[in-house]
């Protein structure tokens, strides 16, 4: 029985286009571990320990990239839109409640304003911080969490947004506008005490969830919105 001749390997190395050649001819399996370790050592984003490289296991690490910078114009625009939504929604609810002979009740008024605050914070908080109130802007600046040079611009945007919301409400709901006007029902002392308490509640929660790094920032909108709702239920 004659033995068949076995074809000898070609003298020139095969290329990826040659039949039977590996798809990526430049990689060698026996050196993959060393290549991986060298790549990890040169990586500036992950902190890789030496023992992890030796034993072949990697610790759980994360790579957090800084957010892209936001221009002052975008911040002011977001602050304007957020304040406009808040003022329009809260006041419109009170006007509709008056038109419908109190069908929305105090709970509806509180829920509407609280939801408006929560929605605005969740949608614009990552852009402008969603101050929505000159007192919040001044408080952040006093606590050195906001530059003083931007305070006049923010307050100007908030005031202009409030005026625009007022004119929009007048154009839509005129002549029924009394529901959006807040008038103290008791004495001046009672009104002062209630305003002091609810303002303290709001500023305490805002500064706690927005300036403390240990707080869960994603829940700031829910916390502040719930505080606004609670304040309305307390003071009416």
pLDDT of residue 34: 55
pLDDT of residue 174: 80
Q: What is the pTM of this model?
A: 0.68
pLDDT of residue 25: 42
Residue 122 CB coordination number (10 Å): 16
pLDDT of residue 59: 53
pLDDT along the chain (236 residues), means of 10: 48 47 43 50 48 50 67 93 94 88 88 93 90 91 91 96 92 76 80 91 88 73 92 88
- Cα separation, 170 vs 159, in Å, equals 17
pLDDT of residue 226: 94
């Amino acid at each position: 029985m004659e033995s068949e001749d076995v074809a000898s390997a070609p003298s020139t190395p095969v290329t990826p286009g040659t039949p039977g050649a590996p798809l990526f001819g430049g990689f060698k399996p026996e050196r993959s571990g060393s290549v991986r370790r060298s790549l990890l050592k040169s990586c500036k984003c992950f902190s890789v320990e030496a023992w992890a490289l030796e034993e072949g296991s990697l610790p759980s690490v994360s790579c957090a990239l800084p957010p892209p910078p936001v221009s002052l114009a975008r911040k002011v625009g977001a602050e304007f839109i957020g304040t406009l939504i808040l003022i329009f929604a809260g006041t419109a609810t009170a006007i509709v409640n008056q038109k419908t002979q109190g069908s929305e009740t105090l709970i509806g008024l509180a829920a509407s304003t609280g939801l408006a605050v929560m929605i605005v914070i969740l949608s614009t908080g990552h852009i402008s911080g969603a101050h929505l109130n000159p007192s919040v802007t001044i408080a952040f600046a006093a606590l050195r969490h906001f530059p003083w040079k931007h305070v006049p611009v923010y307050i100007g945007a908030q005031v202009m947004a409030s005026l625009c919301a007022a004119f929009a409400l007048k154009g839509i709901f005129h002549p029924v506008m009394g529901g959006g006007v807040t008038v103290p029902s008791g004495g001046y002392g009672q009104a002062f005490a209630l305003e002091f308490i609810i303002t303290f509640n709001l500023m305490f929660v805002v500064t706690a969830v927005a300036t403390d790094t240990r707080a869960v920032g994603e829940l700031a909108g829910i916390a502040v919105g719930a505080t606004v709702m609670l304040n309305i239920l307390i003071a009416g």
